[in-house]
Amino acid sequence: MKKNLMILVWLIPAFFMNPITMLSQEENTMEGIWTEGNRFVKESGETILFQGVNFSDPHVLDSKGRWTRAHFEEAQKWGSNIIRLPVHPWAWRERGEESYLELLDRGVEWARELGLYIILDWHSIGNLKEEKFQNKGYITTLEETKNFWRAVSGRYAGEPAVAMYELFNEPTITGERFGEMTWAEWKAMNEEMIRLIREHHPRAVILVTGFDWGYDLTPVRTDPFDEPGIAYVSHPYPQKREAPWEEKWEQDWGFVAEDYALILTEIGFALADEKGVHVPVTGDETYGRAIVDYAAGKGISWVVWCFDPDWAPFMFTDWNYTPTRQGVFFKEVMTGGGN
């Protein structure tokens, strides 16, 4: 009876879905994702560990002729079971809501056909409360952010391939440049977005990110979210802390995995002399092995940045998918050759 009820909860939103999405779900056999304790689980109750890649912005990929099923297929060949799609506020505005949603529809359909899950990420960096952002491409407002989630959650309600909604990429209050915001204030803004999404997509897994460019989850120790279906995010690039990293990771964000589902939606490294290298991504396979082993030991999912030759740290150097050093490393891990 309980399982039948769960299935009913998944099916109800389908009656209100966008027609484009409904038509392509007739033979959808993917299971929806939920959280149970500190695990991501399928509807059947099976635990799933996510390992995958970030794409660059779908609008940018489309402008280059690279928003294709072949790109998703290549990510699958590299061992991905999940793709993170970073939707930038500037790109959302430039393309327009309806056209952008149609773009995402194509990606969702390709992902479903290949059995890949998707994270939709509102990709801004800065202080949403004071509207202070890292650069003009990330400028947004709480109202625009809520409108984005209203549109997306209404579009993909009941769509199992859209596994997670990442509410805000990297909230940042470090230094005078970004102003001030307390965890309580950030939590309240997230809870407002969560309620909005739940009105459309009650079974969505929603990802909540900590401060310090998405790295720091220490406030969760004393003030976690009291919501079902919530998972936490960290972005532990190599220069966020000095090696050895493990003890610091445990203190800053790893402890969360004892009680809650946790996914590192950005990891990765670039060599010191590599094109596009910048703080905090400078590193090598020493970091790669450390983060992969630490995550494996705690059952933490992760997604590598970036499956693109232009968005550093790159996983490949050209559109023949020639891997960089980090590309070689993570491809071996995801395909089972580097475990």
d(CA 197, CA 272): 41
Q: Where in the chain are the domains?
A: 2-334
Confidence tier at 113 by pLDDT (50, 70, 90): very high
d(CA 166, CA 109): 20
Tokens of 183: 């965890």
% of the chain beyond a pLDDT of 70: 91
Confidence tier at 339 by pLDDT (50, 70, 90): low
The pTM assigned to this predicted structure is 0.92
Q: Name the helix (H) or strand (E) containing 332.
A: helix 325-334
At the top level of CATH, which class does the domain 2-334 belong to? Answer: alpha beta
In 3D space, the residue among 242, 333, 232 whose CA is nearest the CA of residue 283 turns out to be 242
pLDDT at 161: 97
Q: Omega of the bond prior to 236 within 30 degrees of 0, cis? A: no
Mean pLDDT value across residues 52-68: 98
Query: How many angstroms separate the first and last alpha carbons of the chain?
Result: 40
CA–CA distances in Å: residue 91 to residues 86, 103, 138, 194, 285: 10, 12, 10, 23, 33
In 3D space, the residue among 318, 324, 153, 121 whose CA is nearest the CA of residue 235 turns out to be 121
Mean pLDDT value across residues 310-314: 97
Provide the pairing of β-strand 33-36 with 39-42.
antiparallel
Span 265-309, pLDDT tens digits: 999 999 999 999 999 999 999 999 999 999 999 999 999 999 999
Instruction: Express the helix, strand and coil content of the chain in percent, nearest 5 each.
Output: 45, 20, 40
Confidence tier at 337 by pLDDT (50, 70, 90): confident
Whether residue 2 is predicted with pLDDT greater than 90 in this model: the reply is no
Whether residue 101 is predicted with pLDDT greater than 50 in this model: the reply is yes
Angle at 124 between CA 210 and CA 199, to 5 degrees: 75
% of the chain beyond a pLDDT of 90: 89
Q: Where are the beta strands (DSSP E) in the chain?
A: 33-36, 39-42, 51-54, 82-87, 117-122, 125-127, 132-133, 162-166, 170-171, 205-209, 230-233, 262-267, 301-304
d(CA 294, CA 289): 8
Confidence tier at 4 by pLDDT (50, 70, 90): very low
Q: Is the Cα dihedral 275, 277, 281, 286 positive or negative?
A: positive
Cβ–Cβ < 8 Å for 291, 266: no
Who contacts 28 (Cβ-Cβ below 8 Å, separation ≥6)?
112, 159, 160, 161
Cβ–Cβ < 8 Å for 332, 338: yes
| CB-side neighbour CA atoms (13 Å) of 184 | 0
